[in-house]
């Protein structure tokens, strides 16, 4: 990690989850937990920022002791910013049933799998349910239902829509995405097999900016860590931006610093050096 130019003091740390905070087995390591606890003991606020819904963040927030009215999380790629004590949402950008049907048709035309989440449950119109939808249901702690559009309530709202498939299938489909989709929504990859579709006003960066303003923290005093395309706006906003060693090249080009991989306690290393001021 390049330490020639020390950042401004950090008051808020925003951390992506999968590929960043969690190791490849989707676990918090002891060193990462220790570093986060040490930062919080010094009064630094730690905010988890993920494509996952709040239910998918909850076990890790609990494990880290991040809870109560003074704490927040950024979920669903910034479509939701929630107070962890009251459940009040500082930011919320729901998508409509019309949005669901519009995106489902495009996914069907492209020959890729599709899913949606309403905050409580994941729905897929695909009878041959993708293994990645099953995995996301597990990671998000959300039940999974097969539902055709005509069997769903048109009054439903969704917190996220996703196009999902094998990486080579998804990448080929992305090259054929119609402009009617990208004009209407923000579309970003959060993993090699996940393409997230959300409101243009959302995104981890815009929502981190809104949360920082809500908390009275300047961008110069924000640190963000990430590894994927959906982390770019968050890294662009933060005064101290850190790419994981396993990050995609665009993230490494954007970030001011680079740390070790998520298999090597990269988050802990970054916090120890850039927040706690150590030289481990």
Active site residues: 16
Q: Which of 184, 163, 188 is nearest to 173 (CA)?
A: 163
Cβ atoms 68, 82 nearer than 8 A = no
Instruction: For residues 62 and 114, give the distance between their C-alpha atoms in angstroms, rounded to a whole number.
Output: 30
CB-neighbour burial class of residue 245 (10 A; exposed 0-12, middle 13-18, buried 19+): middle
Question: In sequence order, which ranges of the chain are alpha helices (DSSP H)?
Answer: 30-41, 54-64, 97-110, 131-140, 167-174, 179-184, 204-215, 232-237, 249-254, 266-274
């Amino acid at each position: 990690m390049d330490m020639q130019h020390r950042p401004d003091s950090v008051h808020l740390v925003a951390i992506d989850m999968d590929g960043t905070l969690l190791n490849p087995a989707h676990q918090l390591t002891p060193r990462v937990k220790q570093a986060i606890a040490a930062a919080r003991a010094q009064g630094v606020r730690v905010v988890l920022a993920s494509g996952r819904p709040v239910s998918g963040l909850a076990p890790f927030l609990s494990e880290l002791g991040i809870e109560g009215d003074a704490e927040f999380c950024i979920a669903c790629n910034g479509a939701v910013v929630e107070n962890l004590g009251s459940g009040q949402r500082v930011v919320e950008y729901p998508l409509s049933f019309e949005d669901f049907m519009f995106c489902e048709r495009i996914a069907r035309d492209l020959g890729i799998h599709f899913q949606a989440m309403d905050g409580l449950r994941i729905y897929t119109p695909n009878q041959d349910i993708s293994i990645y939808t099953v995995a996301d249901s597990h990671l998000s702690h959300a039940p999974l239902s097969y539902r055709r559009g005509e069997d769903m309530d048109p009054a439903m709202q969704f917190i996220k829509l996703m196009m999902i498939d094998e990486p080579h299938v998804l990448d080929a489909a992305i090259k054929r995405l119609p402009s009617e989709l990208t004009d209407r929504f923000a579309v970003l990859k959060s993993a090699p097999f996940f393409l997230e579709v959300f409101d243009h006003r959302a995104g981890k960066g815009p929502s981190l900016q809104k949360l920082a303003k809500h908390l009275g923290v300047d961008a110069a005093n924000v640190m963000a860590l990430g590894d994927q395309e959906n982390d770019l706006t968050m890294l662009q906003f933060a005064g101290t931006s850190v790419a994981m060693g396993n990050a995609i090249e665009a993230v490494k080009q954007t970030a001011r610093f680079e740390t070790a991989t998520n298999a090597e306690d990269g988050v802990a290393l970054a916090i120890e050096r850039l927040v706690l001021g150590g030289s481990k």
